[in-house]
Amino acid sequence: MSISQVANISINAIYTTVPKLRMDNLNDKYIENEQGEKILNSTGIRYRHIAVEETSADLCFDAAQKLISQNNIDKENIEFLVFVSQTPDYVLPASATILQNRLGLKTSVAAFDVNMGCSGYVYGLSVISSLLSTSMNSNAQALLLVGDTISKLCDPKDTATYPLFGDAGSATLLAKSNTDGNIVFDLNSDGSGCEAIKVEQGGFKSINENAQKSLYLNGMDVFSFGITTVPRAIKTFLLSQNVAVEDLDYLIFHQANKFMNEKIRKKI
C-alpha cells in the first residue's frame, strides 16, 4: 500500500459538463436490437453523451467557467490547476496551460497535465490537494479539471468498447480549510495489465501505419481484475484506517458496469 494523508483541505464545489449529443444503445445503427438489450441488462448503460467537435479541455473549461461564476470565486486566489485526461487537445503543449489562459487565471498559477485513466480523478485529487497544502496563501484555492472524450477512440464495430464509453468534463474546487478533516489516499499501480486497455497509435513507441488506432479493451481481464484485486484493496485500506464497511454511506466506483459493481459490492 502507498497510503498518504492530506490535512486541512476541503472540496468546496464540483461541476460537470457533458456534450449535447446523446446516443441510445437501444436505438443505434451500430448495435443490433437484441445486443442493445443484452448490454443494458448486463451493464445498465443505455444512454451515452458523445463529443463531436468538443474536446476534453472544452468540456472541462465549460464546467470550470460555471463553477467559478456560480460560486463567485475570486480567481486571484486560484494557485494551482491540474488537468487530468488521456485525450488531451495536443501532444504538446499541455492542455492545462491553455486552460489557465482561457479561464483568465493569473500567470503565476502552477498548471500541468496528468495522463491517467480510470484512477485519474483520485490521482489528480491527491496531487492537487498535496500542492495546495503547501501554499503560503491562507486563502489559496485550486482547480482540478478531469475529463475525457474516449468515444473518439472507439470503433463503432467493436461491441466491447463502443456501447460503454461516453464523454464528459468536470471541475472540482479545493480550498484550504480550518477543519480537522483529512483526505486519505491509497494509491496502487500494476503495469502487468497494460495490454488489457490500450491505444497504440499516438505515442512514440508505435509510429507506423499498422499501429492500433482505436481503443482495445480486454473485457475478461478487466472483469477479473475488478472482482478480485479491487475488493481486496478496499478491505485492506479500510482495515488500515480502522473503518468498518458498515460505517460507510457510499462506495463510489469508477466502473460503469452494473454487473461488476454488484460483484464487488457482494465481495466487500
18 and 97 within one domain = yes
Helix axis angle, 95-102 relative to 56-70, nearest 10°? 40
- Low-confidence stretches of the chain (pLDDT < 50) are none
133 Cβ neighbours under 8 A, 6+ residues apart: 6, 7, 8, 9, 176
Residue 167 burial (CB count, 10 A):
24
pTM of the model as a whole: 0.88
Whether 55 contacts 63, CB under 8 Å? no
Instruction: Please indicate, yes or no, whether residues 194 and 162 belong to a single structural domain of this protein.
Output: no
- pLDDT, residue 13, reads 96
144 in Cβ contact with 82 (< 8 Å):
yes
Same-domain pairing of 205 and 219: yes
**What pLDDT does 81 receive?**
98
DSSP string for residues in 68-135:
HHHTT--GGGEEEEEEE-SS-S-SSS-HHHHHHHHTT--TTSEEEEE--STTHHHHHHHHHHHHHHT-
Across-strand partners of 24?
47
Indicate if 31 and 91 belong to the same structural domain.
yes
Residues 238 and 261 in one domain: yes
**Domain span holding position 216:** 189-267
β-bridge partners, 261: none
| Cα gap 165→170, rounded to integer Å | 16
| pLDDT value of residue 67 | 97
The CATH number covering residue 248 comes to 3.40.47.10
